Amino acid sequence: MKSEMQITVLGAGAWGTAVAAAAALRHPTLLWARDPQQADALAAQHENTRYLPGVALPPALRISADLAHALAHATRPQDLLIVATPMAGLRSMLTQLAQARVTAAVMWLSKGFEAGTGCLGHEVAREVAASLRTGVLSGPSFALEVARGQPTALVAASPDVTVRDAAVRALHAGHLRIYSSEDVVGVEVGGALKNVLAIATGIGDGLGLGLNARAALITRGLAEMSRLGGALGAQPETFMGLSGLGDLVLTATGDLSRNRRVGLKLAEGLPLPRILEALGHVAEGVYTARTALARAESAGIEVPLTRAVVDVLEGRLTPAAAVQALMQREARAEH
């Protein structure tokens, strides 16, 4: 039996489509696509041929390119709006939701630090949408596996228990398991930095450094994530959970990881613009790396792996030279 809850997902990329498909199995759900042509194709084919080819969407899932219509689908306090834009689009979308005086709970799937401001998602929300009840949904999750109905665990983080509860009511069933957290900072730092560290691991794998090196990169990457998160006010235990270690391991080692693929191609010597053009999807780590480094520097936190990724992305070091620089760092205690 479907509940009284209604859900709108704003953004019809791979992840937004996958979450909307999962929600539509239990609740009246509408997926908003910015492009009217994409919306028409989704409605006609009930398949996202660009981002999730071969995966049939639930017949009950509604599709629209009309934002006002999409917002009207989830207007009550018990409803849920899920923002599924890249980080670059989060500020604009939250601003529109605040202007529309949305009363439904709002969660975003965006991961990263905002370019220019260095803000995490909750900091963007605090600036432009303080009147909304908000939170973030994150964790180790490839959109394709979620869309296929494969088991996945996620974390819904918010200081507002009603937002956390809305995420659980919306998605905790079948192949999805939703855990709750009050630590928005930790969940968002984990979701942001793991993409950068996946590029580093992809570089290492692409250079043929071996499994020992991969384990070292993931472990020391987790240490960077924990240091930066702690400086920003996160709870240390968050980084041992799904949105920290879990998401890092998945993104650094999984063949479906776009950020890992960027690292592999950088190791081959391909130029970054060519890599991104061939990728055809957003690789958030590319855009997050510089901002994450700036945020760490302003907090007085050492993040050598993140710095090395930035140096490679910006062309100051070759992948091999970046690895050599890391290996030549001075010896120190692990903790």
Enumerate the known binding-site residues for NAD(+).
11-16, 143, 258
One-letter amino acid of 94 = L
Q: Quote the crossing angle between the two packed helices 121-128 and 184-206, to the nearest 10°.
A: 140
- Residue 293, CA distances (Å) to 91, 146, 287, 289, 330 in order: 21, 31, 11, 6, 20
Residue found by looking up tokens 């992948």 in the block: 319
DSSP for 69-117, written as a single string? HHHHHS-STT-EEEE-S-HHHHHHHHHHHHHTT--SEEEE---SPPTTT
Binding residues for substrate: 111, 258-259
Binding residues: 11-16, 34, 51, 111, 139, 141, 143, 194, 247, 257-259, 282, 284
Instruction: Judge contact between 252 and 221, C-beta under 8 A.
Output: yes
Binding residues for NADPH: 15, 34, 51, 111, 143, 258, 282, 284
Judge whether 194 counts as a catalytic residue. yes
The H-or-E segment that residue 258 falls in is helix 258-267
Residue 5 C-alpha from the chain's centroid: 24
Residue 151 neighbours by CB distance under 10 Å = 10
Please list the residues that pair with 32 across neighbouring strands.
Answer: 10, 64
Instruction: Tell me how far apart the alpha carbons of residues 109 and 87 are, in angstroms, rounded to a whole number.
Output: 9
Task: Quote the strand ranges of 89-222, DSSP E.
Answer: 105-108, 134-138, 152-157, 176-181
Which of 73, 194, 227, 295 is catalytic? The answer is: 194
Instruction: Tell me how far apart the alpha carbons of residues 262 and 276 are, in angstroms, rounded to a whole number.
Output: 8
CA atoms within 13 A on the CB side of 278: 11
Q: Which active-site residues does the annotation give?
A: 194
